[in-house]
Amino acid sequence: MKARIPKHREFIIQFAEDYEKQEECWGKLQEIMDEYKKQGKSVYTKTFIEDNEEKVKALQAEYEFTYTIEEK
């Protein structure tokens, strides 16, 4: 079977190896994705990064992680 996945960009989130609040933060990141999907949009939508980057930056200020945006 073949499946064609459209080219898209992704947030690549990185935590320090021993960061204690990692699970809590992953939960909040998942909430951002779930909220976006409830709007009828896909994480593969061309504007996913632009629509959610401010929310990710707000979490970054609260939790200790870095992120990059990669094109896949």
pLDDT of residue 30: 97
23-43 mean pLDDT: 96
Q: How far is CA 66 from CA 32, 39, 40, 56, in A?
A: 17, 27, 28, 10
Mean pLDDT is lowest, of 12-16, 21-25, 45-49, for: 45-49
User: To the nearest whole number, what is the mean pLDDT of the chain?
Assistant: 93
| The two three-digit tokens of residue 27, written as one number | 């939960």
| Segments of 20-62 assigned E as strands | none
Give tens-digit pLDDT for 42-56.
988 889 999 999 999
Q: Which residue, 5, 2, 12, 27, is CA-closest to 65?
A: 12
- Sequence ranges of the domains in the chain: 16-71
